[in-house]
Amino acid sequence: MSIFSTMYRPGGALLIGLLALPALADEPGGLVTGSFGDQPLELTVAPELSGATIIGNYADASLLAALMEGEQGPVNLDLTINGELPAPGEMALTITFARDMGRNWTGDQDSLTLTLDEFAPGDGIVAMRGTLTGQVSGGPASETRPVTFSFDTRLEELD
């Protein structure tokens, strides 16, 4: 019997975790981080409610990200992008604060600027990374607020 067979190896669990990372990285999901006015937000992408379709150079992508806890939660962010790559011309952003009815905010290509750093399909997953800046309008007093969001997502490629 070897002495090593009974010794605890703390690096073993770390090695197993590191080996699992590539498989997790290929799964749908991701994060959206940024600010709504002066409120910082970090939302998790719901993989079952997000997806992308690519036909030639045309892309149609939609993601839903949510923050369920904290002072602002529940908050939903819905982003839809349509158009020719690498710069799709149509987009729609909706931010909904569930605790305060009437606090829905929207923006589109007229009030927002989209920068796509990555939009790459592969093995049934579309990697989408970029930044969205501009203004959204709405809320109880029909105000306008600045937004900046960065997203790093993996979306299921839909037929």
pTM of the predicted protein model: 0.79
Q: Convert the pLDDT of each residue in 2-45 to its tens digit.
A: 444 444 444 444 444 444 444 445 789 999 999 999 989 999 99
pLDDT, position 91: 94
**CA pair distance 92, 36, nearest whole angstrom:** 15
Positions in the chain short of pLDDT 70? 1-25, 70-73, 100-102
